[in-house]
Amino acid sequence: MPVMLGYVPVAFAFGVLGHTAGLPWWASAAMSAFVYGGSSQFAALQLLAVGAAPYAVVLTTFVVNLRHLLLSAAIAPRLAGWRRREQALFAYELTDEAFAVHSAQWAERAERPKAEVFAFNTAVHGSWVAGTLAGVLAGDLVTDVEALGLDYALPAMFMALLAAGVVADRRGLAVAVLAGALAVGLTLLGLEYWAVLAAAALAATFGLALTPREERSSALGEDAAPAEGGAGR
C-alpha cells in the first residue's frame, strides 16, 4: 500500500502531462503498461513534446534505465533457481521501489513464495497504470501538477524506503549519504541522466570496500548455496 500510494500521484502527474503534450490516452496508458519506468517515461514525454527523432527517444530512455543493470545484478542470486520465464516476468516488473521492498524482505526471509512476490509486483504495476489513466481523464482540469505537490510523492516514498530498509547501520548511512551527494554533484556538473548510475556504482563500491572480507565471503556463500542445489528462492 505505501508503494501504491506513492505511485498513483506520480503516475497521475504523468497522465496529465501526457494529455497536455497531446498524446492520445491509449499511448500514455501503453507507456505505463509496457515501459513502466517513471523517470524514463517523463524523459520520453519531454522529447516527444518537442518532436525529437525516434532514435533520440529510444537512446535517452535506454540511458535513463541503465540503473536497472545494477538492480538486476544485485538481486539475481535470489532468482537463481527460478524458471527462465519467471525470471523474465520478474525482470519486466522490476522497479526501484520493487527492488527496495524485495531486497528488504529477502533479507528477513530467505524463502519467499513466488505468488507473494508476483502479487506485489502486479499490484503496484496496476496502480501505476490506473494513476496514469486517472491523470489523462483529469488532464483538462489540472494545469499545474507541481502546485499540488504531486511531483514530490515519489522522492518522499524513496526516502521512506531508504530509512526503513537500507540505512540499518553506520555503513549503510554512509553509503546512502555518499550516493545522494554524488548524484546531486554530478547532476550539477551536467551529467544529467548518467548521474544516478555513476553515483550508485561509486557508492556501492565504497560500501563494498567498507565491508569486512569475512562478511563478504559469508554473504557470497549463502547466496551461492541454493543455486548449486537448484532450490528456488
- Residues 125, 79 share a domain: yes
Domain count, the chain: 2
In 44-202, which ranges are E strands?
none
To which residue does cell 517513471 refer?
38
Separation of CA 22 from chain center:
26
Please check whether residues 117 and 27 belong to one and the same domain: yes
User: Is residue 57 located within the same domain as residue 43?
Assistant: yes
Among 116, 137, 166, identify where a domain stops: 166
- In this structure, the chain runs to a length of 233
The residue range of the domain holding 211 is 167-233
Q: Rounded to a whole number, what is the largest CA-CA distance in the chain?
A: 59
Are 82 and 139 part of one and the same domain?
Answer: yes
User: All 3 cell numbers of residue 53?
Assistant: 527523432
Using alpha carbons, select from 61, 57, 39, 38 the residue that is nearest to residue 48.
57
| Nearest alpha-carbon partner for 145 in 15, 29, 5, 4 | 15
- Cβ atoms of 48 and 201 within 8 Å: the answer is no
Per-residue pLDDT of the chain (233 residues; tens, 9 = 90+): 888 888 888 899 889 888 888 889 999 999 999 999 888 888 888 888 878 888 888 888 888 788 888 888 889 989 988 999 999 999 999 998 899 889 888 888 888 889 999 999 999 999 999 999 999 998 778 766 667 766 666 677 667 767 766 666 788 888 888 988 998 998 899 877 678 778 888 888 888 887 776 555 555 444 444 444 444 33
- Are 91 and 29 found together in one domain? yes
My answer on whether 228 and 211 are in the same domain is: yes
Write down which residue in 166, 193, 216 finishes a domain.
166
- Asked whether residue 152 falls in the same domain as residue 180, the answer is no
pLDDT of amino acid 161: 65
Amino acid at 198: A
Q: What's the confidence (pLDDT) of residue 19? A: 87
Judge if 99 and 146 occupy the same domain: yes
- Domain identity same for 145 and 207: no
- As a whole number of angstroms, the distance between CA 66 and CA 209 comes to 23
Chosen domain end from 166, 181, 207: 166
Report pLDDT digits (tens) over 149-194.
666 666 776 677 677 666 667 888 888 889 889 989 988 998 776 7
Q: Which helix (H) or strand (E) holds 160?
A: helix 153-165
Same domain, 78 and 116: yes
- Position of cell 522497479? 95
User: Quick one: 154 and 130 in the same domain?
Assistant: yes
Same domain, 191 and 83: no
pTM of the model: 0.69
